[in-house]
Amino acid sequence: MPEQPAKARVRAAFERAADSYDGAAEVQRRICQHLLTRLPAALQPQRLLDAGCGTGYALGLLHQRYPHAQALALDFSPAMLLHCRRSAPNAPLALAGDIEHLPLGSASLDLYWSSLAVQWCDLARALGEARRVLAASGQLALATLGPGTFHELRTAFAGIDRHAHTLSFVDAAQVEQLARASGFATVDVEIRQETAYYPDFRSLLKAVKAVGANQVGDGRRTSLLGRSAFARAAAAAENGRNINGLPLSYEVIFLTARA
């Protein structure tokens, strides 16, 4: 299993990104929209949780589909929760908390939703907590990132330094295995690629920073990249340019399961 970044570093990254997140989160919104299509048509939850809610985009989608459900919003970042409370419909109950240690009673939820949050966590612990808080036959709907994510960044920086410019992500087979080991049934996994495009390398890096996904892992660069090194990385990234611009890939793993 990949080593997880320090929690304080993850919280700090998303605190800084709270104001810029929505303006750069096109891919993240598409991922939420696709995850919604994977929920069973017959599902009618009375109580649901958005674990790692960020600024609350998914809560709007969930409210449209389940207008009578009691929604709980949980995030590690108080700044993200503040944005969520301002933007999400019906002011869901907001909880500052850790996905690995949910401040909720056992069997208290009908739907556990989490989009692009558990990749910053110990996935086995997060799934164990999701299983604990779901009632019998409760639904899990989760999206996380796979190892192909941001491969363009790894390629661009490969010849520049030895620092880790992206996290290592769990692959789909491990996600499925951990879900089953946590006690979930009817486990279904889908892999889907999403791509964002940028006019230049600087814009690409700025977008990664804007959504809080920059350099939170161990081995990250802690000093500024020199002008010459930046130019070499930008030149390497140009090898991937196509008619749409410079691509940045997300390998998205969608997991749905029943408790």
Residue 177 is assigned to a structural domain of this protein:
yes
Is 223 part of a structural domain of the chain? no
Residue pLDDT, tens place only, 23-77:
767 899 999 999 999 999 999 999 999 999 888 899 999 999 999 999 999 998 8
Nearest-5° angle of CA 199, CA 204, CA 205? 145
Range of the domain at 31: 7-149+167-195+249-258
User: Residue 73 burial by CB count (10 A; 0-12/13-18/19+): exposed, middle or buried?
Assistant: buried
DSSP class of 182: T
Whether 59 maps to a domain, the answer reads yes
Q: How many domains does the chain have?
A: 1
Q: Give the 3-state secondary structure of residue 47.
A: strand
Instruction: State the pTM of this model.
Output: 0.88
**Would you state the pLDDT for residue 25?**
76
Q: What is the CATH number of the domain that holds 62?
A: 3.40.50.150
Tell me whether residue 158 is in a domain. Answer: no
Per the domain annotation, does 73 fall within a domain? yes
Q: Is residue 29 part of a domain?
A: yes
Asked whether residue 160 is assigned to any structural domain, the reply reads no
Q: Does some domain include residue 71?
A: yes
pLDDT tens-digit series, residues 77-126: 888 888 787 776 566 788 999 999 999 999 999 999 999 999 988 999 99
